[in-house]
Amino acid sequence: MRGWGVLFPVMLTTACGLAVSGTATSTDTEGGGLVGDAGLVDDAGSVPDGGVEPPTIEDGSVPADANPVSPITHVGTSIGTFQNPGQQITSIPVPPDGTTYLVAIATKPFVHASTVLENPGPSTIVFTLQHAQCGERNQTGVEVWYAKRTNPNAPNPLTVQFQTALSPPVENAVVAISAFKGAQSIALGFANTNPDASCVDGDENNEIALLLPYRWPNSLVYAAVAMRQRVLSAGDGVFVFDQERSGQEGAAAGLAILGTTNDQLNAKLNASTGWALVAVELRP
């Protein structure tokens, strides 16, 4: 069972720094102290106030199309596939009525996005990169971008621009936009098939098993999984908000968006690959 690569809280209005796997190297922007490798463990190894382990769903049998049990509401996820998109993808539809938005981008090969923004208009929003995670041999990867939205008008479509000047062209991409209500702060985690989440010399596998032992009470864990051409099946208490693939065989990019309120996130792919994952804990 693999734990969080790193997990630490930030306010939604603050861009997140990065820490090496399993090490407390970043300052907690909510509380001003260092956080441990499980995210909410203090220096003595105990769980601080507000960080107690929440109850789990007894049988994990909530229907896949239901919202996880949390005061945070998943308003909707829209997902699109793009072959040979060039330097940017435009006119990506955005689910309405959300206040917190997370954009996940999976590509083959792994090419970083430079900008994610709502198309020009009265409610233009620029998203902030939360984390970019490579696969174990850098053949694919996933980024998660965040924005807080207070404008009551319907959101405009999104544009994603890629860093193509120093990168190979994107062969295939999958982009998912998820809308939520009720989140006040977030924490981040990331992983791939390497124990240290590095981008080289890794092995492929088909099992995703992340331990989330110190979730915030009533939080909702969102996860974006880059999975190439594979198909993902969720484990008990894990909900597939959407998944899609673009392209064929070695050129394919795939992306699954998951949610859970349990203390672990389990999923299985239909065959081994070098998957990559970024998880965001949405806290009420």
For the segment 127-154, what is each residue's pLDDT rounded down to a tens digit? 999 999 999 888 899 999 999 988 767 7
With 50 as the cut, is the pLDDT of residue 268 above it? yes
SS3 content of the chain, % helix, strand, coil (to 5): 0, 45, 55
* pLDDT value for 68: 62
> How far apart, in whole angstroms, are the C-alpha atoms of residue 120 and residue 126?
10
> How far apart, in whole angstroms, are the C-alpha atoms of residue 170 and residue 46?
45
Mean pLDDT, rounded, for 243-254: 95
Question: Hey, what are 71's tokens?
Answer: 């005061």
Question: How would residue 207 be classed by pLDDT, with cut points 50, 70 and 90?
Answer: very high
For residue 23, the surrounding DSSP H or E stretch is: none
Residues 135, 276 contacting (CB under 8 angstroms): yes
* pLDDT value for 96: 87
User: pLDDT tens for residues 171-189?
Assistant: 999 999 999 999 988 888 8
With 50 as the cut, is the pLDDT of residue 23 above it? no
What amino acid is encoded at 196 in this protein? D
Mean pLDDT, rounded, for 42-68: 36
User: pLDDT tens for residues 90-124?
Assistant: 989 999 889 999 999 999 999 999 999 987 766 67
Indicate the average pLDDT of the chain. 77
* pLDDT value for 57: 31
* pLDDT value for 14: 24
Q: Which of 26-30, 127-131, 262-266 has the lowest mean pLDDT?
A: 26-30
* pLDDT value for 69: 66
* pLDDT value for 209: 86
Question: How would residue 195 be classed by pLDDT, with cut points 50, 70 and 90?
Answer: confident
Residues 161, 241 contacting (CB under 8 angstroms): no
* pLDDT value for 123: 61
With 90 as the cut, is the pLDDT of residue 259 above it? yes
With 90 as the cut, is the pLDDT of residue 44 above it? no
* pLDDT value for 78: 95
Residues 255, 172 contacting (CB under 8 angstroms): no
Instruction: Count CB neighbours of 29 within 10 A.
Output: 16
* pLDDT value for 36: 22
* pLDDT value for 67: 56
* pLDDT value for 128: 94
- Is the whole-model pTM more than 0.85? no
With 60 as the cut, is the pLDDT of residue 8 above it? no
> How far apart, in whole angstroms, are the C-alpha atoms of residue 22 and residue 6?
6
